[in-house]
Amino acid sequence: MDAQMKRGFLEACVLATLRRRESYGYQIIKDVPASLGLTESSLYPLLKRLEGNGMVAERSAEHNGRLRKYYRITAAGQDRLRAFLAEQDEVRGLYRYVEESILAPEPACDEATDAAGARTAAAPALETAGDGGSKAPSALAACGGSEELAPPSASAPARASRGAGPSGASARQSAAGTARSGAMLRPQGA
């Protein structure tokens, strides 16, 4: 379990343990679910914070010749446990949201690029979507594809003349050479 998530559950589990009965540090550690990994170094600052917030009260009593601190839950601690339980529907909703995203079919753009980012059969459909293909580079990039493999948009020469790539004629020659070599995957006549 994630450390941040554990911290949120520690408070509730310590309070739940103390709701069952008054207890002392070592016993609380034994009673709290082991999956939380509660240790003395994390328990005592938590108990101090709970006491400071009025959720736990402490008393000292002698045990086998030594003073031992016993902790008990207060009314404010009981209220916090009720609030924790009231939040469970929200937490379950968040888990359902994440679970649904995992179980949902993958987006269609996964068909457009393979794991290496190479374009596949669905890529031409993305190229011609929208306004004549000018949105294809961003659509492929959104799907994890390489914009370098995307067909040039109408604004490519304008970008080149602004200094965003090879300038003027060399950019056009490069694009024409790439198109002749077959590296661009735009269907002929499109």
Q: What is the pLDDT of residues 99-129, one digit of tens each?
A: 999 998 887 665 555 555 555 555 554 444 4
Query: Are residues 59 and 114 located together in one domain of the fold?
Result: no
Q: Which domain holds residue 120?
A: 110-181
The CATH code of the domain that includes 43 is 1.10.10.10
Cα distance between residue 85 and residue 93, in whole Å: 14
Last residue of one domain, picked from the residues 103, 120, 152? 103
Percent of the chain having pLDDT more than 90?
49
18-41 per-residue burial string, b: 16 or more CB within 10 A, e: under 16: beeeebeeeebbebbeeebebeee
In a domain, 187, yes or no: no
Query: Are residues 94 and 115 located together in one domain of the fold?
Result: no
Query: Are residues 56 and 140 located together in one domain of the fold?
Result: no
Cβ burial, residue 42 (10 Å; 0-12/13-18/19+)? middle
Query: Are residues 26 and 88 located together in one domain of the fold?
Result: yes
Percent of the chain having pLDDT more than 70?
56
pTM to 2 decimal places: 0.54
In a domain, 188, yes or no: no
Distances in whole angstroms, Cα of residue 24 to Cα of each of 14, 39, 47, 50: 11, 13, 10, 14
Cα distance between residue 105 and residue 142, in whole Å: 17
Query: Residue 173 is inside which H or E element, if any?
Result: helix 168-181
Cα distance between residue 16 and residue 85, in whole Å: 11
- pLDDT reported for residue 147: 45
Q: Is the pLDDT of residue 152 over 80?
A: no
DSSP for residue 60: E
- pLDDT reported for residue 79: 97
Q: What are phi and psi of 31, to 5 degrees?
A: -80, -30
